[in-house]
Structure 1
Amino acid sequence: MIQSMTGFGKSITQLPSKKISVEIKSLNSKNLDVNARIPSQYREKELQLRNIIGKSLVRGKVDFSLFVDITGEETSASVNKGVVANYMKQLSAIVPGNETELLRMAVKMPDAVTTEREEIDEAEFKAIENAVIEALEEINTFRKDEGKALEKDLSFRVNNIDKLLKEVIKIDPERVDAVKERLRKGIADLKENVDENRFEQELVYYIEKFDITEEKVRLENHLSYFIESINSPDSNGKKLGFISQEMGREINTIGSKSNYAPMQQLVVQMKDELEKIKEQLLNVL
């Protein structure tokens, strides 16, 4: 079952004095690229959180945001009273004014407010981990739902290519007859006597040169393998991408060998379906 690389997950956890919000968004990318935005006091745990995200999402451009809001009365910031008083004294000597105005200016000065670095509480970090895991579960559900839509569309496109290939196989005898007739007409226009045995030998060589039997068989195998890979338990967008490249090679070879307008039109339609498949595969995990 394939999955999309696009998804969004969010989790909110309320602690006695803090509200923890986790948001994770992912888009398509060749590899895993995690952009983390977390408060400075949790930086030492960033690598641990990245590992949790990486194991769950595997691939994609991931934006991870952790927000911690203080909801209780506790705070790690405190006013440096001596520094503020000194600032007010200096300011009053420069520009006399009421104490409220002086205080408003003083608290904006450097070191007026100090923030004590708190040690990370293990219970609090466990709550953060659980919030991350919950958000990952939500984003993976989103990815699976998107994957179902992708699977439906990819199967539809592959089925279209298969139908077009059957049309190619159906008109192949007509193509061979048309090539033979074109060669005979060319010889007749020369108004020269031709050794029929030699002509037949050259005709056989020419027809073999433009034979597409191998390409038809290989393309059929690639189409079957593509559907088999879609229905496998794992989601492997890179593998499907490789198969689509092989499909493209066979379709291009059929087009270059066809030398017959009706068949070339079918090849153009197959190429169109294959391009749509490749566009969708860019978003498959």
Structure 2
Amino acid sequence: MVNSMTGFGRSTVSNQKLTVHIEMKSVNHRFFESSIKSPRSLVSFEDKIKKLISQYIHRGRLEVYITVEGEAPVSQSFVVNWSLLDQYYQSLLQLNERFNLKNEIHLEQMLKLDEAFETIETPDVDQEVEQLVLTGVKQAVERLVNMRATEGLQLYQAMRELLENLMEEIKSIEQLVPEATKHYYEKIKRRVKELVSGHVEEDRLLTEVALFADKVDITEEVTRLKSHINQFTQTLTVNDPIGRKLDFIIQEMNREANTIGSKINHYGISEKVLEIKSLIEKLKEQVQNIE
């Protein structure tokens, strides 16, 4: 099954206290990468979010945005900076001594040092909030996956058409091979005649043609190219992520096409090879979008 690597998903979930909005988008990437931007209060279970997403997505760069509306429960703690208070107290004692003052140091004076006292609020993210966010993430990633599947179907149809065109071009090459062989035969015959002043032994000529034909024989390359196309077609029906495998098959197809082009020097076949390479390049562009 073909899945695109580009997609978008959005969800909104809420309870009596909070409303959570989740958006995620994915783009092409050789491997799987994810980036989550969320409030600090949700950082503690980002790993759970990533683990959930990885059950659905195996390739591509994914960006997740989570925003929260409402007041999340918080825990408060009162912190005293005793080191700062000690320094402040010692400074007051030194002032009295330095200027021969008789002022007593009272608690009210100490409390005026605002920097020494701090109330810290810690988000109290309970299991209910965690489950709410994970539910939203699941909804968003499922919608994203559905979009990737829809686009994947379009990619599948486009690639099947390209593969059919490839097969047609290969069949055309196979039909031109006898003509190319005859062309080589006549060419060698003329050159041999020139070397032996018009007289040539037919057996010798046939031997030379056979030797040369063996060097330019493209039967194996054509067979392998057709095999790669069939393998490519079969891979499109596999349910697992197939992008990397298709990319490898594309490389092998290119290799066979280049070998055919370098082996045989015939205008018609060369023209077909160029068309085949163009079709393979279009296939490669499509494969770059596949998970």
TM-score, with structure 1 as normaliser: 0.83
Gaps of 5+ in 2: 79-113
The counterpart of 1:149, out of the listed 138, 154, 161, is: 154
What is the one-letter code of the residue matched to 1:36?
Answer: I
TM alignment of 1:63-212, pairs within 5 A: 63-70=63-70, 116-190=121-195, 192=197, 193-212=199-218
More moved, 9-18 vs 155-164: 9-18
Rounded to whole Å, the distance in 2 between the matches of 1:155 and 1:115 is: 61
Give the alignment's Cα RMSD to 1 decimal: 2.2
Please identify, of 135-144 and 177-186, the stretch whose mean Cα deviation from structure 2 is larger: 177-186
Partner of 2:59: 59
- Give the whole-Å Cα distance in 2 for the aligned partners of 1:110 and 1:148: 62
Partner residue, 1:216: 222
Greater than 4 Å deviation, 4+ residue runs: 74-78, 109-115
Q: Is 2:11 aligned against 1:6?
A: no
1:18 maps to 2:21:
no
- The normalised TM-score by structure 2 is 0.81
Larger radius of gyration: 2
User: Does structure 2 conserve the Cα–Cα contact (< 8 Å) formed by 1:77 and 1:113?
Assistant: no
What is the rounded CA distance, in whole Å, between the counterparts of 2:260 and 2:18 in structure 1?
65
Q: Distance in 2 between matches of 1:197 and 1:75?
A: 97
Q: Which amino acid aligns with 2:167?
A: D
Contact 2:73 2:123 in 1 (8 A): no
Structure 1 match to 2:83: none
1:259/1:12 Cα in 2 relative to 1: closer, same or farther (>3 Å)? same
* SS of residue in 2 equivalent to 1:280: helix
Q: Provide the secondary structure at the position in 2 that maps to 1:50.
A: helix
Gaps of 5+ in 1: 81-108
Please tell me the residue identity of whatever aligns with 1:63: E
Question: Could you tell me whether the CA contact under 8 Å between 2:75 and 2:122 is conserved in 1?
Answer: no
CA contact (8 A) 1:32 1:61 kept: yes
CA contact (8 A) 2:193 2:200 kept: no
- 1:259 matched to 2:260? The reply is no
Find the partner of 2:283 among 252, 277, 283.
277
- Whether the 8 Å CA contact 2:73–2:124 is kept in 1: the answer is no
2:243 match:
237
Query: Any idea what SS the aligned residue of 1:262 has?
Result: helix
Aligned residues between the structures: 254
Give CA-to-partner distance per residue, 1:165-224, whole Å, 9 cap, x none: 000011110010011111112223345344443332222110011011111111111111
1:36 aligns with 2:1: no
**Aligned partners of 2:75 and 2:19: how far apart in 1?**
18
